Structure 1
Amino acid sequence: MGESDWGDWLPTAVAAADPDTVAVWYLGCNGFVLKGSEGTTLFVDPYCGLGDPPRTVRMLPVPFDPTDVTDADAVLATHEHSDHVHGPTQAPILAATGADYYAPDASMAVVDRAGWTDDWGVVSEQFVTVTEGDEFDVGEFTVHVVPVNDPDADHPVGYVFEHDAGTVFHGGDTRPDESFPDLADRFDIDLGVLAFGSAGTILDKETREPTRTQWYATENEVIRAANALELDRVLPSHWDVWKGLNADPTALHHHARSFPYPERLEVVEIGDRIDL
């Protein structure tokens, strides 16, 4: 678990915000907070860990201490990797707020093995296992669990968050997927979060030998996914966190400019807020 030197300003800003529509804060890596106009607050894949140096080295600050989070209605995980299901980050939020935790079965298996109910005082009733096709309401949001394409995960899912003010898609670490045109037909997505990164040399998890690694979509894959989903705005994530896999999100302007989608590229940094 990383120690934040940001103080409590970010969770305080989220708690104090009174958005007219839906406010979205980027937490770095692939973490986000969504807050609606009625105050419903959702955390998606928040991560305050430091990785596994020297294999994975965090290259950006830890933006908050999870014990400073006082407002959350739900925490959602897209898949089971440690920067998406992280007990030291997510369990204290659940324990302090009573929020429900939504995640697919492979993610819940990580939760069980890590003993969240034993070590952090979270109760089993807070855990809801989801799968593709599920739909549920959290306050003013309707959440749809949708298929994605993350070849490195055991059971990844994405989420479509519908709100009166607009619709947000969070694809986890997805690459382009054959299901995306169907999602474009079902939903008018205002803002889509797509993981983006370079290929690099990372130590193999088992052998610790340097290995060419690609965990996230390339520039061309991000724009392919954005066009398949017909995204009004695309927000690239994950490009900032791991040493060796960093990328320049502004390069996406060149890849996107001759295509109809996205209509706008949202390049944000950790701690930034945008609104629907």
Structure 2
Amino acid sequence: MDDGTRIGETLLADVQRRRIPEDALGLWWLGQASFIARGAGVTVYVDPYLNPSPRRIVPPPFRPEHVTNADVVLCTHDHGDHIDPTALPGIAGASPRATIVVPGVARDKVIGMGVPADRVVVPTIDAPIAFGKLTVTAVPAAHEELDYAPERGYPYLGYMLQLNGVRLYHAGDCTMYDGLTERLKAHRPDVVLLPINSHDWKRTRQNIIGNMSYREAADLAIPMHYGMFAHNTEPPGHFVNYVLEHYPTQKIKVMARYEGFVYLKA
């Protein structure tokens, strides 16, 4: 058994065994924008990237067929590290109850990967979808631009999750755009997962927090989407330094790769 297999087995066992009390959410970071969220007996994978590509700085923690516990898989946009053609069919096969949520422009592609059509869901923007005790709301994301077209909708999404009394915002690969702050204020997330990989971070990323006062921002901000590809990464210290300088009351957590922790809502 190699070290990677041990890490994956330990991580997945922790997801299943970790006790998550009420008004709390378990989070595990798999690297890049990939997370597992769990609460109230519901397990959600967001942008699971498990392709063993040689471009990765670090190998995937486990293989897709090891994911037998997925209830919902959320994919933000059709890039290979977000809609992974290795991960999605493998997870769908190993977790036969899992629903796969994708932008409309990616639906046919995901079905073509071998995911059954009746398990692929395209969300309507700002319309909550209930999956048992989990509620998911898709919001537009700007991958530099929103790139909206009437015939295809928004190709890039973020997701608001409400689970076990906690509100979580996964921003996808979003940069700031007019209207995003108002959406975040309306949902009042407890935890925000924010990408920091931009080559012009000060212009495009920091203002997601910078346009919100500390009373309107989330309780906890977690940087993501870095440390996977040598050509597209950013030291998380830049994010931390900016927030500490400008928003010293804002809580921040930099997660170690494959770390799991339980967020307790105050």
**TM-score, shorter chain, exceeding 0.5:** yes
SS in 2 for 1:257: helix
Alignment of 1:132-151 (within 5 A): 132-151=125-144
1:245 to 2:247 alignment:
no
SS in 2 for 1:143: strand
Give the letter for the 1:241 counterpart. M
Aligned to 2:12: 11
What is the CA–CA distance in structure 2 between the aligned matches of 1:172 and 1:81, rounded to whole Å? 11
CA contact (8 A) 1:78 1:158 kept: yes
CA contact (8 A) 1:78 1:103 kept: yes
Aligned to 1:236: 223
Aligned to 1:218: 201
Alignment of 1:1-276 (within 5 A): 4-5=4-5, 6-20=7-21, 21-36=24-39, 38-51=40-53, 57-98=55-96, 99-112=98-111, 115-117=112-114, 122-151=115-144, 155-197=155-197, 199=199, 218-219=201-202, 221-228=204-211, 230-260=217-247, 263-276=250-263
Give the letter for the 1:84 counterpart. H
Shifted more, 99-108 versus 11-20: the winner is: 11-20
SS in 1 for 2:19: coil
TM-aligned CA deviation for residue 185 of structure 1: 2.6
What is the CA–CA distance in structure 1 between the aligned matches of 2:208 and 2:248, rounded to whole Å? 9
CA contact (8 A) 1:80 1:107 kept: yes
Structure 2 portions without partners, runs of 5+: 148-154
Q: Deviations over 1:132-187 (max 9, x none)?
A: 22211122221111112113786101100113432110011001121222123312
CA contact (8 A) 1:81 1:153 kept: no
TM-aligned CA deviation for residue 109 of structure 1: 3.4
TM-score when normalising by structure 2: 0.84
SS in 1 for 2:208: helix
Q: Sequence identity, in percent?
A: 24
TM-aligned CA deviation for residue 260 of structure 1: 3.5
- How many residue pairs were aligned? 246
Structure 1 portions without partners, runs of 5+: 200-216
